[in-house]
Amino acid sequence: MAADQLTLVVSGALGLVTIGLAALIIGLLLRRLRRRNQELQAVQQALDRQRQMLRQKLRTSLTAAAVAHEINQPLSSLSLISERLIQQAEATPGLAESLPLIQVLLTECQRVVELIEKMRMLLQSVESEQGPVSLIDATTSALTYLRRPIAAEDVQLQATGLTGPGTVIHGDGGQLQVAITNLLRNALAALLEEPRHQRQLAVTLQELPGWVELVVADSGPGFPPSWLGRDLTEDSLFQSSRATGMGLGLYLVGATVENHRGSVRLSRSRELGGAEVTLRFPLLHPPGGG
């Protein structure tokens, strides 16, 4: 009888252990399912945000394309009229004095057309021409392109970090050069508000662990206080720090940096006192990354 009781006790204990193990396993499975469900919800939310962002970009692209089309129509007419006026002025001695002004008109029309084409390029979502790009080369090319206005306006240029083997990122060299050129043009436009002996421009390229930063600073009036310390994102599209500005330059910069998985930071330069813009890009081959 004692043996039977012992058997019952052992069986009961084993049953309790089995039930305990089953409850433990079920609990672990439930926790894993809850965690998996939370992960799926997070993925779904990320996908929803991405879809919403894509819809916003599509609306922006379509709007910009429509605006570009409408602007191109009168610009084409102005360019054609300017070309004919130039031909008439060259053939008529009495119109020679007006020739420089007509040539300026034609040049400005062509410049706007080029700007619209650049906007179209930056709005494209396909990154078909991206590859290894030297940020040093892109920055140097932009500075070379603007060397004449920099010299003509007596701007004191200080360039740092633009020599060496080259800082390589993954991107589109043409887009990067256009963005950096527009950023430098913004700085030059701001410096025109300052006396000639106070016009300073600093361009600095520096590598950080896994990243590279391009900093453009000037001694101009700087950004509005509400802009300082924030990222350049879509809420600042077509905003300008100057009363006569359209904000297209900043839009080009922001669109390009976003296309290259980077970030833009607006601040005030401690050294020069004016605006400071920091472009940050991930390195193609960060140290220790293989």
pLDDT digits (tens, 9 = 90+) for 2-26: 666 656 555 666 666 677 676 777 7
| Domain ranges within the chain, ordered by starting residue | 1-125, 131-282
Residue 286 has a pLDDT of 59
Q: Among 66-75, 172-181, 226-235, whose mean pLDDT is lowest? A: 226-235
Structure confidence at residue 108 (pLDDT): 76
Residue 118 or residue 31, greater confidence:
31
pTM above 0.75, yes or no: no
Exposed (0-12), middle (13-18) or buried (19+): which is 26, by Cβ within 10 Å?
exposed
Interval 107-148: pLDDT, tens: 777 777 766 666 666 555 444 467 898 999 889 988 988 888
Nearest to 274 by CA among 206, 192, 212, 205: 192
Count of alpha carbons within 13 angstroms of residue 283, beta-carbon side = 17
Average pLDDT over residues 80-92: 79
Q: What is the pLDDT of residue 166?
A: 67
pLDDT average, residue stretch 236-256: 57
- Among candidate residues 181, 160, 19, the one with its CA nearest the CA of residue 114: 181
* Contacts made by residues 26-33, CB under 8 angstroms, sequence distance 24+: none
In percent, the amount of the chain with pLDDT more than 90 equals: 12
pLDDT, average across residues 65-80: 69
pLDDT at 235: 45
Range with the lowest mean pLDDT among 28-42, 147-161, 191-205? 28-42
Q: Kindly report which listed range (18-32, 108-122, 167-181, 274-288) carries the lowest average pLDDT score.
A: 108-122
pLDDT of residue 117: 67
Task: Tell me the pLDDT band of 101, cut-offs 50, 70 and 90.
Answer: confident
pLDDT for 245 equals 43
Q: Please report which confidence band the pLDDT of residue 203 belongs to, taking 50, 70 and 90 as the band edges.
A: very high
Own/partner long-range contacts of 22-29 (Cβ < 8 Å, ≥24 apart)? none
Q: Which CATH class is domain 131-282?
A: alpha beta
What mean pLDDT do residues 187-201 have?
A: 90
151 pLDDT higher than 80 = yes
pLDDT digits (tens, 9 = 90+) for 213-227: 999 999 988 888 877
Q: What percent of the chain has pLDDT over 70?
A: 69
**What is residue 57's predicted lDDT score, i.e. its pLDDT?**
58
Phi, psi for residue 156 in degrees, rounded to 5: -85, 110
SS3 283: strand
pLDDT at 227: 73
Q: Which residue has the higher pLDDT, 178 or 280?
A: 280
Reported in sequence order, the residue ranges of the chain that DSSP labels E, i.e. its strands, are: 131-134, 156-160, 168-171, 200-208, 211-218, 263-268, 275-282
Position 67: which residue type? Answer: V
- What is the rounded distance in angstroms from the CA atom of residue 123 to the CA atom of residue 267? 26
